[in-house]
Amino acid sequence: MTTSSDEKPNSFKALPDSDGHFGIYGGRYVAETLMPLILSVEKAYEEAQADPTFQAELDEYLKHYVGRPSPLYHASRLSEHLGGAKIYFKRDELNHTGAHKINNTMGQILLARRMGKERIIAETGAGQHGVATATVCALFGMRCVVYMGETDIARQAPNVFRMKLLGAEVVPVTSGSATLKDAMNEALRDWVSNVDDTYYIIGTVAGPHPYPAMVRNFQKIIGEEVRQQMMEAEGRLPDSLVACIGGGSNAIGLFYDFLDEEEVTIYAVEAAGKGIETGEHAASLSAGEPGVLHGNRTYLLQDEDGQITEAHSISAGLDYPGIGPEHSWLHDAGRVNYVPITDDEALEAFQLCTKLEGIIPALEPSHALAHVSKIAPTLPKDHLLVMNMCGRGDKDVFTVAEALGVTL
Amino acid sequence: MSRKEARLKARFEHLAAEGRAGLVTFITAGDPNREVSSAIIEGLPGAGADIIELGMPFTDPMADGPAIQASSLRALEAGQDMKATLAMVRSFREKDDDTPIVLMGYYNPIYIYGVEQFSEDAADAGVDGLIIVDVPPEEDAELRDPANKAGIDFVRLTTPTSDEQRLPALMGGASGFIYYVSIAGITGTKSAATSNVADAVTRIRKFSDLPIAVGFGIKTPQQAAKIARVADAAVVGSAIVQVIAENAEKGDKTKGSPDLVNSVLRFVSELAQGVRTARS
């Protein structure tokens, strides 16, 4: 039942299997009460995938409401400054609501409507997924309840207010570390208590099957657009891809279309917080062990008794002690390079990008930018590097000001 | 080492012979600390508990309401871990070789312990059954097989959402007893109507000969009595844990009030009285 990293699979795109497993990872580890519902979500999703009108409707909304395709932008000043690779940004921060999250919420809300559900719940960390969910609920006139850790509510006040303006109820979660993992516990508790009318829009490529595969499929448009745009711009595929990773939805969205292109080097950047060695980080692949939480088996930050430990990152969106199961599998298979970046490195990259490109990145992709800053100078000028600018940084200016010691 | 075969089977046969339902009492191991928790467990059979359900504390108890969440955190803060939980069972067994003990919890601490090693150590300590909330039948073979091999029953959960298509598969790998979760929800919140529970028990009986225990939302001796009329056992958890919480707050943070153990056992006696007189 294990996937040996010695055996190279024929394709990196063949999983999950019919039960939602990526090698030993993934699966459906939920309470029995939820199982019939999870199976019905899977069935409804399969039917939607086979129905051309579903994809056509989604495409219409993605084009005219979300604003896809997002541009592929040559960051020439940053490229020149770093003095190596030719750097492109995939501008998913230009999507409606300011992040890649809406690619997924738009797909799932259409599915929830197909299933006849009336009430939507979601968990959120940085608030981007919460805003993206509240937005599509407003668009379709559906009730929306967003669970958010109290710690995150304090550091992401603008997004909390946005959700409320959009008509969502934001429920503060005080249990545990009062961050994303606890918000997900609380959302699962809500779902198990409201199975009849409620659909749970999970925001990342984690949770019980079919969520990791479904969210990936709604996000893979990012990489598909990059392929086409890069062919138009340069006449060939990119040489490397870089994306930040919390749960991993923007990363798998960029990577998926290129997983079987051997010549494309792929980097996923984990939040190393104050440094892996300090124990205060969110780097589940660099410093975690496989375990079972929130419906799937995957790498988790935990102690030797199997208790989940608290993650730390300056970025609320990366502050989660787990990671999507497909990433765990890609890590073990050696296809994607998972690298750590600290809070300080991300802050520096945040400022560099803002000054050189006039783009204020979210703290999440600032981690990816920091890794780009490390590797770009070592690469030749004809090396084509694509970084996913998965969110804009307006929501983070208060956090950054505080970190830089500026009083607003 | 005091391995005794099929304590659960023997206990339910004994209950059937007495013509009454059983009382299953839940507490979290190590809540509010190991010493007090051990004293509670040792007093439970005398207070009228027929089966002891012992929670293995976990940081992220997704199927539990506020009372059991808090009990898990109290136990973890007091230093409880899996080894300590098994040690508590072992020392209980030195004094009581008949009362079945069922461990309840979430998969990760067992997975990290190692399923084979855990099954062996748990059986060796005197554990009779397992209730693992976040491992549905689709995923449970990797734990159920080693547990069964070690002689531990794997208790399957059924819920109001388990329809007749799903029930046969749920019963397939079950042993010990069937645990009917009487509400679609988390522990310690809503209570089910007795008529709904009776219907569900009838539905489950079509697919299994195993005893049926009913839990979730049973808070008073009266509610326990109602369930005891229609099921083979009533499970009470949050309400007992709440008594621990109230007394732990009153007294010294780590030790709890001197009356904590007595308060818990007094409440369990009331519950047992309700269950034992239900059918008379």
pLDDT tens per residue, range A103-117: 999 999 999 999 999
pLDDT, one tens digit per residue, over A3-28 is 444 567 889 999 999 999 999 999 99
pLDDT, one tens digit per residue, over B60-104 is 999 999 999 999 999 999 999 999 999 999 999 999 999 999 999
Catalytic residue among B31, B50, B64, B121: B64
pLDDT, one tens digit per residue, over A359-389 is 999 999 999 999 999 999 999 999 999 999 9
What is the Cα–Cα distance from A72 to A91, expressed in whole angstroms? 6
Q: Is CATH 3.40.630.30 what the domain over A68-98+216-403 is classified as, yes or no?
A: no
pLDDT, one tens digit per residue, over B162-208 is 988 999 999 999 999 999 999 999 999 899 999 999 999 999 999 99
Of A175, A292, A306, the CB nearest to B134: A292
Contact indicator for A285, A270 with CB cutoff of 8 Å: yes
Q: What per-residue confidence (pLDDT) applies to B133?
A: 96
Structure tokens at B30: 């190590």
pLDDT band at A240, cuts 50/70/90? very high
Fill in the amino acid letter for B42.
E
Query: Are residues B76 and A185, on separate chains, in Cβ contact within 8 Å?
Result: no
Q: What per-residue confidence (pLDDT) applies to A254?
A: 98
Lowest mean pLDDT among A65-69, A372-376, B98-102, B254-258: B254-258
Percent of chain B with pLDDT over 70: 96
Any idea which residue has 């190991």 for tokens? B34
Q: What per-residue confidence (pLDDT) applies to A397?
A: 92
The residue-averaged pLDDT of A253-272 equals 98
Catalytic residue among B50, B53, B96, B128: B53
Between residues 15 and 74 of chain B, which touch chain A (CB distance below 8 Å)? 58-63, 65, 69
The residue-averaged pLDDT of B7-34 equals 97
- From chain A, the residues in CB contact with B61 under 8 A are 185
In sequence order, what are the residues at sequence separation of 6 or more whose Cβ sits closer than 8 angstroms to the Cβ of residue B80?
Answer: B29, B30, B31, B34, B37, B57
Is there a domain that residue B1 lies in?
no
**B254 has a pLDDT exceeding 80:** no
Is there a domain that residue B196 lies in?
yes
Average pLDDT, chain A: 95
Between residues 181 and 210 of chain B, which touch chain A (CB distance below 8 Å)? 181, 184-186, 189-190
Interface test with A, best of B28, B56, B58, B59 (most A CBs within 10 A): B59
Counted domains in chain B: 1
Q: What per-residue confidence (pLDDT) applies to B1?
A: 37
pLDDT, one tens digit per residue, over A274-311 is 999 999 999 999 999 999 999 999 999 999 999 999 99
Q: How buried is residue A232: exposed, middle or buried, by Cβ count under 10 Å (0-12/13-18/19+)?
A: exposed
The residue-averaged pLDDT of B230-250 equals 95
**A183 contacts chain B (CB < 8 A):** no
Write out the residue range of the structural domain in which residue B245 sits: 7-276
Q: What per-residue confidence (pLDDT) applies to A216?
A: 98
Q: What per-residue confidence (pLDDT) applies to A10?
A: 87
Percent of chain A with pLDDT over 70: 98
Is there a domain that residue B2 lies in?
no
Question: Distance, in angstroms, between A205 CA and closest chain B CA?
Answer: 19
Query: Are residues A19 and B113, on separate chains, in Cβ contact within 8 Å?
Result: no
Q: What are the DSSP calls for A158-208, one per residue? A: HHHHHHHHTTPEEEEE-STTSSHHHHHHHHHHHHHH-TTTEEE---SS-SS
Catalytic (active site) residue B53: yes
Q: What per-residue confidence (pLDDT) applies to B256?
A: 62
pLDDT band at B251, cuts 50/70/90? low
CA angle B215, B217, B218 (to 5 degrees): 70
CATH architecture of A27-62+101-207: 3-Layer(aba) Sandwich (3.40)
Q: What per-residue confidence (pLDDT) applies to A1?
A: 43
**B243 contacts chain A (CB < 8 A):** no
Lowest mean pLDDT among A46-55, A313-322, B96-105, B123-132: A313-322
Q: Beta partners for A26? A: A21, A297
Q: What per-residue confidence (pLDDT) applies to B252?
A: 61
Residue range(s) in chain A whose domain bears CATH number 3.40.50.1100: 27-62+101-207, 68-98+216-403
Q: What per-residue confidence (pLDDT) applies to B253?
A: 56
**A27 contacts chain B (CB < 8 A):** yes
CATH number for B248: 3.20.20.70
**A2 has a pLDDT exceeding 90:** no
Is there a domain that residue B212 lies in?
yes
Q: How buried is residue A367: exposed, middle or buried, by Cβ count under 10 Å (0-12/13-18/19+)?
A: buried
**A181 contacts chain B (CB < 8 A):** yes
**A151 has a pLDDT exceeding 90:** no
How many residue contacts between A and B have a Cβ separation below 8 Å?
Answer: 114
Between residues 152 and 171 of chain B, which touch chain A (CB distance below 8 Å)? 156-163, 166, 170
Question: Distance, in angstroms, between B99 CA and closest chain A CA?
Answer: 27
pTM: 0.96
